[in-house]
Amino acid sequence: MVRGRPGGRGLTRRPLLATGLLLVFLLAACGQARENPPPSRSAGPRTGRVADGEKGRLQLSTGPTAPAASAERSCAALPPLETQLAQLLLVGFPGTTAGPVSRRLVDRGVGGLLLFRANVVSGPQVRELVAELQGRAEISLEVAVDQEPGTRVARLAGIVRPSPPARTLGRLPADQVRRHGLAAGRDLAALGVTADLAPVLDVTGARWDGVIGDRSFGADPATASRAAVAYLRGLAAGGVAPVGKHFPGHGASTVDSHRRLPVVDATMARLEARDLAPFRAAIHAGLDAVMVGHLLVRALDPRTPASLSQAVVGRLLRDRLGFRGLVVSDALEMGAIAGTLSVPAAAERALAAGVDQLTLSGHSAVPAILDHLERAVAAGRLSRARVREAFLRVQRFKRVDRWAGCR
């Protein structure tokens, strides 16, 4: 046995005590880490969206959320401006497999991809396409499609279970309408689709093959409201986010906004009583997203299309109707807008008016749009606060919780 110096036993206890305290600290830290895991990239697909029967509002089920302290830290670390702007784009792309164009869009940080019939061969093919692109994204993608009841606007016909046109559904009891929405929602969610650009909330009794026609649930605002709310509740319960369209109401127009700008001459009283009723009902039911149409509604703004109008988006939709969700543009390449404005200029004006997400049928304008928007911010025409607000709304809609504490 080695004899220590005087006081050696005391010196030996101190390292042992320090070691013991270190072990206690490490064990406590491990326990804390287990109790407070780091925030996930996303709360995942919307399989938890359910309708609250008591309050009649759509609600998201609880998913992983970041602790308050983590949310505050991440709020100070928003991505750079270029990424925030890219996240505002919902873009169509070519091909039935993940090719150079779609990969480049994802790598550039676009917030969402829009499926068209040209992207579709079969259910397994769509699932594989979506899964590959979703796996490539740093921030989870919105994957959207126009899949309305009926066959006129149904990009996934033959894969998603068919349903009668909206006008036929409008004559059915609400529970049957909801079941049709539920079936569509489940089929879409199974493919990896996260948002359906439906239902149509326009009120019209025009011929079935008109601009809106039988895509509308009916000519009576009460019928259209009841059926549309039932259908969107079904979609939400099935696992996808519904996007109601075309605010503030396309039903009174016979002009196709894909070709030129429709003009709506209805009085404000008529708009309130008829066209706005289904939107008001859907918002009250908890609708998360509204698509604004390319319409000139003279009673609201005699000079500017609704999709570019602060009077329509800000004063009417936000202030008067109290909508707090995502505002989406119709496709910016449509003739109603592109006939008088370049797509980049239209993108700037839509954002400045209060639109949060910019829809593009194709991908070719994406570089020019992002460059134009960055220059608009640099020049002070578009504020960073407006971009941030839109970016955060897109993330909330997608259930990306990384910036959940940001306001």
Are 227 and 217 in contact by the 8 Å Cβ rule? The answer is: yes
Which helix (H) or strand (E) element contains residue 310? helix 310-310
Q: Is 311 exposed, middle or buried (0-12, 13-18, 19+ CB in 10 A)?
A: middle
Q: Which residue matches tokens 């790598």?
A: 107
Active-site residue list: 258, 330
The domains of the chain are located at: 81-398
Assigned token pair, 89 = 């784009």
CA distances from 38 to 43, 70, 108, 395, 406 (A): 13, 8, 25, 18, 17
Please name the residue that has the structure tokens 């698509």: 291
- What is the distance, to the nearest Å, from the Cα of residue 17 to the centroid of all Cα atoms in its chain? 56
Q: Please, what is the Cα angle at 305 between 258 and 329, to 5 degrees?
A: 65
Phi and psi of 207, rounded to 5°? -45, 150
Q: Which of 324, 296, 321, 325 is nearest to 309 (CA)?
A: 296
Angstrom CA distances, 80 to 107, 378, 392, stand at: 14, 13, 13
Report yes or no: 90 and 111 within 8 Å, Cβ to Cβ. yes
Angle at the Cα of 333 from the Cα atoms of 329 and 338, rounded to 5 degrees? 105
Cα torsion through 131, 137, 141, 145, rounded to 10: -50
Alpha helices (H) in 92-164, listed in sequence order:
100-108, 123-136
CA dihedral 170, 173, 175, 176 (to 10 degrees): -70
| Residues of the chain by 3-state class (helix, strand, coil), percent to 5 | 45, 10, 45
What contacts 127, CB < 8 A, 6 or more positions away? Answer: 190, 191, 192
Residue 256 has a pLDDT of: 64
Check if the beta carbon of residue 217 is closer than 8 Å to that of residue 209. no
pLDDT given for residue 252 in this prediction:
65
Which segments within 33-165 are labelled E, that is strand? Answer: 49-51, 58-60, 89-92, 112-115, 142-145
10-residue stretch averages of pLDDT, the chain, 407 residues long: 36 40 41 39 41 43 38 68 98 98 98 98 98 98 98 96 96 98 98 98 82 92 98 98 94 68 90 96 98 94 96 97 97 89 97 98 98 98 98 97 90
Residue with tokens 């029967």: 53
Q: How far is CA 253 from the centre of its chain?
A: 26
N-term to C-term CA, the chain:
68
Compute the distance between CA of residue 208 and CA of residue 118 in angstroms, rounded to an integer: 25
Yes or no: domain 81-398 corresponds to CATH 1.10.3330.10? no
**What pLDDT shows up at residue 31?**
42
